[in-house]
Structures are given as structure tokens and as C-alpha cells.
């Protein structure tokens, strides 16, 4: 396929194909399927917006857009197998932790899309018409790797039979069981309030994992024989200033009717906002619990980066299979961008920009700066 590409884009395609071979994508199907996957990933990296099949093949004319349509709709390709490849890559890295959350992808005009429905977007502070994607993310302790190891699309009740409906927690349960069965090791798993449900946290404990979550202010807990809402309990506690964490906090052991015996950390920031962090690790110290909770931000950054740099919102297909495969290839592209880094500190956005500039320059040197240009601006002049 590389021989039919423009000279300027050929090197990027070859580099993407090499990275996919390192991951083990070549074992997922025929050479044609693997080549189309490399073409799709290259298009997601090369283009900034509207990474549709038609636009990808305009810039990368090695195959027509129908070939990419067949890749997303009818060709044999399992997204579970793609995620298994990423799990295997994560297992080769150092020990890390898991993050669990879901993201809303807005599809304002996709009325025929069975995955979409009206939902509240915390980012936009209003209701939007879109779809939910539940993602399980593995992160290394040195923050060098953020690897999505499982995902599921959530269906609204109106678009699925009653006996086939699954909540986000049930989807998370299936993902977590698959990842643990695959042998992926992690120090802990962190999630927010909606995933800190009694039956789910007990399941996580049975799988042998340490979990860290948060409680809603109305959640009842029992402390020193008295049952009360955790927000009311927090007002009676003396919180000490923790300079290293830049907040006031106190830790104690409580009993929650739905969670059992847990360790509770009550924090209060400079603005007077309370947060109630809980974990099943009864021996953990306050600083470790707060830092584990803060590490959940890694999954928020992957949602931002996949939307901005990998085309998470670009798919315009109505078919179920196409939407699922597009999300799987977007998450694969996110890992490829990390593997293309020239330096561990380089961001995925910088990687994308560097390759786009390389394609645009075609190995030509930039012109000499104008004499009137100040020296501190000549780099970007």
C-alpha cells in the first residue's frame, strides 16, 4: 500500500505500520486488514478534524473510501482482540494502576444512531444528545504510558431489548473481569462516585484489587456507633492542614452499610469544598489515599486527547459495528501516538504536530528569518 501514497505521507504510514507490528496487530487478520488498519490510524494522525473515510483516502489515496467502510462494517476484525493486544503491551511495562470512567461523545444530529440519547454533560453543564463510552485505562506509575485496555459502548434502554440492557456498572464489571483474567497486574483501581456502588466495590475486592473511590455527601456511614450522612460527619471532625497536599484532611475508619468497613479520608480545599475519599485498603496512609484519588485525572486527559488528536468524535456511521470499531481504532491510535514520541516528556499533541509539520515540509529547510524579526520570535517566525 505504501507505494501508492504521496511521497510526503509515505514515511508516516511506514512508521505507523512499524509501530503496529511492534504491538502485534499483524496477528489480528490478513495483510489487507492490517494494511487498512495502518491506513486508518495514519489518517487519524494526519488530519485534525473530520477524519471520515472519504477525507482519509483523499490525503492517503492508496485505497478508495469503500475499503475503509468495509473495514469498519463487514471485514473480520474484533475490537476485543485489539484491546487484548494493548493489554499484552501493558503487561510488558512496569507496574501501574487502573482508572475507570465514562465519556460523553456528542452526536447532535445522529437521531438514527442506536447508541445515542439525551444525557447530561458535566463538561458543558447541560444536556446533550450523544453516546456514552465506558473506558478502563491502565497507567504506569511514572506517567509515561496511558493505555486503554478495555471499552464498552452503553446503549440507552429505548434501543435495546429489556433482557439485553446493561448498566454502566455491569459493563465495567465485564471489562474488569476480562482484564484480570488476562493477567494484567495493577496496584489499585480508582473511580469516581457513580462507580462506588456496594455490589461493584465488593466485586473488585473479590478480584483481589484495592479500590479507591468517592462518596456522595448524602451517603450514610457509621462512626463510633452513630449513623449519619458523611457530610454531617465531616462538620464534626477536626481537619489538619497538610502542606504537601495543599488541603485540610483527616482519615478515619468507618462502616458503610453498602460498602462494609472502609477507610474514609475527608478533605477540604482552600475554597471550602469537601471531598469524601474511601478505599478498602485499611492500612493505607492519608497521603497515599489522596494521591491515588488524584491519579484518576489521567483518564480525563485521555478523553480530552482522543477527542482533540485522535478523532473520537469523527465517525459518522450509523451501523453499530462501525461505531464500535471506530472507537477501538481511535484508542489504538492514542497508543500509537505515545509510541511515536521522540522523548518521554513529549505530549501526544506535540507528536501529532511534529509529524504533520514533517509531511508539510517534505525535508525542506525553513527559509531564513527576516532581519526585522526579534531574536526571541525567530523560532516561530
Q: What is the pLDDT of residues 33-52, one digit of tens each?
A: 999 999 999 999 999 888 88
Return the pLDDT at 227: 93
Quick check: is 150 in a domain?
no
Question: Do 197 and 287 have their domain in common?
Answer: yes
Question: Do 27 and 51 have their domain in common?
Answer: yes
Question: Do 289 and 343 have their domain in common?
Answer: no
Buried b / exposed e along 207-242 (16+ C-beta atoms within 10 A): eebbbbbbbeeebebebeeeeeebeebbeebeeeee
Quote the number of domains for the chain. Answer: 2
Question: Do 214 and 263 have their domain in common?
Answer: yes
Quick check: is 166 in a domain?
no
Quick check: is 11 in a domain?
yes
Contact 72, 82 (CB under 8 A): no
Quick check: is 351 in a domain?
yes
Quick check: is 103 in a domain?
no
pTM: 0.90
Quick check: is 160 in a domain?
no
**Percentage of the chain modeled with pLDDT above 70:** 98
Quick check: is 170 in a domain?
no
Range of the domain at 326: 2-77+310-361
Question: Do 291 and 203 have their domain in common?
Answer: yes
Quick check: is 119 in a domain?
no
Q: What does the DSSP assignment read for 104-116?
A: EEE-TT-TT-TT-
Return the pLDDT at 127: 85
Q: What is the pLDDT of residues 297-347, one digit of tens each?
A: 999 999 999 999 998 988 887 788 888 999 999 999 999 999 999 888 899
**Whether residue 191 has pLDDT greater than 70:** yes
Pairwise CA distance, residues 303 & 314, whole Å: 14
Question: Do 290 and 316 have their domain in common?
Answer: no
- Write down which residue in 262, 295, 328 finishes a domain: 295
- Write down which residue in 295, 320, 343 finishes a domain: 295
Q: Taking all residues of the chain, what is their mean pLDDT, rounded to a whole number?
A: 89
Query: 149 pLDDT band (50/70/90 cuts)?
Result: very high
Amino acid at each position: 500500500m505504501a507505494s501508492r501514497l504521496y511521497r510526503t505521507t509515505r514515511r508516516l504510514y511506514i512508521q505507523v505500520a512499524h509501530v503496529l507490528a511492534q504491538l502485534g496487530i499483524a496477528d489480528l487478520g490478513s495483510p489487507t486488514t492490517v494494511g487498512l488498519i495502518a491506513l486508518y490510524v495514519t489518517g487519524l494522525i494526519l488530519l485534525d478534524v473530520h477524519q471520515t473515510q472519504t477525507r482519509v483516502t483523499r490525503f492517503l489515496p492508496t485505497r478508495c473510501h469503500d475499503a475503509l467502510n468495509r473495514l469498519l462494517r463487514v471485514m473480520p476484525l474484533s475490537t476485543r482482540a485489539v484491546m487484548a493486544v494493548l493489554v499484552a503491551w501493558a503487561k510488558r511495562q512496569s507496574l501501574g494502576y487502573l482508572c475507570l470512567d465514562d465519556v460523553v461523545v456528542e452526536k447532535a444530529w445522529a437521531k438514527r444512531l442506536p447508541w445515542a440519547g439525551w444525557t447530561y454533560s458535566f463538561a458543558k453543564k447541560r444536556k446533550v444528545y450523544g453516546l456514552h463510552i465506558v473506558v478502563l485505562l491502565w497507567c504506569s506509575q511514572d506517567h509515561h504510558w496511558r493505555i486503554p485496555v478495555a471499552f464498552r459502548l452503553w446503549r440507552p434502554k429505548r434501543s435495546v431489548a429489556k433482557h439485553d440492557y446493561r448498566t454502566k456498572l455491569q459493563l465495567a464489571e465485564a471489562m474488569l473481569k476480562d482484564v484480570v483474567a488476562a493477567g494484567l497486574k495493577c496496584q489499585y483501581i480508582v473511580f469516581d462516585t457513580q462507580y462506588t456502588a456496594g455490589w461493584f466495590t465488593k466485586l473488585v475486592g473479590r478480584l483481589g484489587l484495592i479500590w479507591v473511590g468517592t462518596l456522595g455527601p448524602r451517603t450514610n456511614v457509621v462512626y463510633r456507633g452513630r449513623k449519619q450522612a458523611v457530610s454531617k460527619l465531616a462538620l464534626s471532625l477536626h481537619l489538619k492542614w497538610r502542606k504537601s497536599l495543599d488541603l485540610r484532611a483527616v482519615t478515619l475508619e468507618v462502616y458503610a452499610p453498602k460498602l462494609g468497613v472502609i477507610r474514609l479520608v475527608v478533605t477540604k480545599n482552600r475554597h471550602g469544598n469537601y471531598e469524601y475519599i474511601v478505599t478498602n485498603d485499611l492500612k493505607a496512609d492519608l497521603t497515599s489515599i489522596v494521591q491515588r484519588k488524584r491519579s484518576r485525572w489521567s483518564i480525563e486527559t485521555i478523553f480530552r486527547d482522543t477527542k482533540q488528536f485522535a478523532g473520537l468524535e469523527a465517525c459518522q456511521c450509523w451501523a453499530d459495528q462501525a461505531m464500535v470499531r471506530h472507537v477501538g481504532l481511535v484508542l489504538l491510535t492514542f497508543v500509537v501516538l505515545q509510541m511515536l514520541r521522540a522523548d518521554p516528556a513529549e505530549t501526544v499533541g506535540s507528536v501529532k504536530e511534529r509529524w504533520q509539520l514533517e509531511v508539510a515540509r517534505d525535508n525542506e529547510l525553513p527559509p531564513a528569518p527576516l532581519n526585522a524579526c526579534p531574536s526571541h520570535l525567530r523560532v516561530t517566525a
